């Protein structure tokens, strides 16, 4: 990520040196404890082949344009019922109520199509089902991100983290006399969007810049992007060198469970980075036939690490659940 000293909304580049790592090391080699290569000084990410000498061959007949631009529009209705009622009484028009009490956030997320070959190496290069449900949850609970320290785990292309950032930017105060909501002049929110995958980080940082607000009132929250490979040791280093020993009020994650070996490192990370008093970890989980990890394993491990949980959103037909986790 390039340093831009003129933009106060972007934090300084990472202090920890990033490494070349892709999530296929988990799926094909069975765990997070693998040999990782540091980036060379000239920016070269090293050999694309795996340690055993095998490499992924690109199909010459594959889609010549595997990229896709995903477009999202999120309507943010006012959470003040008195405001809506006053507008309705003044105008008698429900459409006018919507026009006067709603705001919206538009996002453009660029990544690979879901059937592109590239996602076999890095699953975070496209969007998955559960991320949409986590977005719905965020829009329903924008207060989670107002003047809070927020971190997304396994962000991939960054949809959920970027939405959290933009939600924190659009915090409003309500005037009971004028029934008008005004954007606050300054937000103390900080949103950190993370992934462990080297390839995903490239696209993630690009999407953050693509969705940077253009108005002054929408650019008061800080956003940063860093590599975070899960586990106790790596999370403690992250807490010290990136977070400056300040834990996070809110952690977010969606579609991050695709191998049993990552469940323990996930909870090690959540336990290390989440604020114990009032902190909440919101995770969207999608059931997948080809992923032999049940939600029961995730919940049981959460309890072992001292967390309680609550199901806050579900879609039984699609097999997607959103849980809130808090320290007991």
Sign of the Cα pseudo-torsion (172, 175, 181, 183, in order): negative
The pLDDT assigned to 77 comes to: 66
Query: What is the percentage of the chain residues whose pLDDT exceeds 90?
Result: 55
Q: If you average pLDDT over residues 91-101, what whole number do you get?
A: 47
The pLDDT assigned to 35 comes to: 45
Per-chain mean pLDDT for the chain? 79
- Distance separating alpha carbons of residues 53 and 178, to the nearest angstrom: 68
pLDDT in tens, 124-181: 899 999 999 999 999 999 999 989 999 999 999 999 999 999 998 875 443 344 433 4
Predicted confidence (pLDDT) at residue 263 exceeds the cutoff of 80: yes
Asked which of 15-24, 217-226, 299-308 is least confident by mean pLDDT, the reply is: 217-226
- When pLDDT is cut at 50, 70 and 90, the band that residue 296 belongs to is very high
Q: If you average pLDDT over residues 101-109, what whole number do you get?
A: 84
Whose tokens are 């202090």? That residue is 15
Predicted confidence (pLDDT) at residue 104 exceeds the cutoff of 50: yes
- When pLDDT is cut at 50, 70 and 90, the band that residue 11 belongs to is very low
Q: If you average pLDDT over residues 259-287, what whole number do you get?
A: 96
Name 327's bridge partners: 307
- When pLDDT is cut at 50, 70 and 90, the band that residue 41 belongs to is very low
The pLDDT assigned to 51 comes to: 35
The pLDDT assigned to 33 comes to: 54
Domain ranges of the chain: 19-327
The pLDDT assigned to 59 comes to: 55
- When pLDDT is cut at 50, 70 and 90, the band that residue 291 belongs to is confident
Asked which of 18-22, 131-135, 224-228 is least confident by mean pLDDT, the reply is: 18-22
As a three-state string, the secondary structure of the chain is CCCCCCCCCECCCCCCCCEECCCHHHHHHCCCCCCCEECCCCCCCCCCCCCCCCCCCCCCCCCCCCEEEEEEEEEEECCCHHHHHHHHHHHCCHHHHHHHHEEEEEEEEEEECCCCHHHHCCHHHCCCHHHHHHHHHHHHCHHHHCCCEEEECCCCCCHHHHHHHHHHHCCEEEECCCCEEEECCCCCCEEEEEECCHHHHHHHHHHHHHCCCCCHHHCCCEEEEEECCCCHHHHHHHHHHCCCCCCECEEEEECCCCCHHHHHHHHHHHHHHECCCCCEEEEEEECCCCCCCCHHHHHHHHHHCCEEEEEEEEECCCCEEEEEEEEC
Q: Which of 255, 172, 159 is nearest to 211 (CA)?
A: 159
For residue 106, how far is the Cα from the chain centroid? 16
The pLDDT assigned to 117 comes to: 82
Q: Does the model's pTM come out above 0.85? A: no
CATH code: domain 19-327 is 3.40.50.150
- Distance separating alpha carbons of residues 260 and 291, to the nearest angstrom: 9
């Amino acid at each position: 990520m390039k340093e831009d000293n003129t933009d106060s909304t972007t934090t300084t580049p990472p202090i920890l040196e990033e490494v070349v790592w892709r999530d296929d090391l988990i799926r094909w080699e069975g765990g997070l404890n693998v040999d990782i290569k540091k980036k060379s000084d000239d920016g070269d990410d090293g050999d694309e082949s795996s340690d055993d000498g095998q490499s992924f061959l690109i199909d010459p007949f594959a889609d010549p344009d595997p990229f896709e631009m995903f477009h999202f529009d999120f309507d943010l209705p006012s959470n003040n019922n008195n405001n809506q009622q006053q507008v309705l009484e003044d105008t008698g028009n429900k459409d006018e109520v919507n026009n006067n009490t709603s705001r919206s956030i538009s996002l453009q997320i660029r990544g690979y199509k879901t059937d592109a070959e590239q996602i076999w190496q890095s699953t975070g290069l496209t969007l998955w089902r559960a991320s949409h449900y986590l977005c719905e949850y965020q829009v329903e609970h924008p207060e989670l991100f107002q003047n809070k320290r927020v971190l997304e785990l396994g962000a991939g292309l960054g949809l959920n983290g970027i939405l959290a950032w933009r939600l924190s930017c659009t915090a409003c105060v309500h005037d009971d006399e004028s029934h008008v909501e005004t954007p606050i002049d300054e937000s103390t929110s900080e949103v950190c969007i993370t992934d462990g995958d080297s390839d995903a980080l490239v696209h993630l940082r690009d999407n953050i810049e693509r969705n940077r607000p253009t108005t002054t009132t929408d650019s008061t929250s800080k956003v940063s992007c860093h590599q975070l490979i899960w586990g106790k040791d790596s999370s403690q280093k992250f807490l010290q060198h990136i977070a400056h020993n300040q834990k996070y009020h809110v952690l977010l994650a969606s579609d991050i469970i695709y191998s049993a070996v990552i469940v323990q490192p996930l909870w090690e990370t959540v336990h290390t980075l989440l604020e114990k008093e009032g902190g909440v970890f919101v995770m969207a989980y999608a059931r997948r036939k080809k992923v032999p990890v049940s939600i029961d394993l995730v919940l049981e491990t959460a309890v072992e690490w001292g967390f309680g949980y609550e199901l806050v959103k579900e879609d039984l037909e699609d097999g997607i659940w959103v849980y809130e986790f808090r320290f007991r």
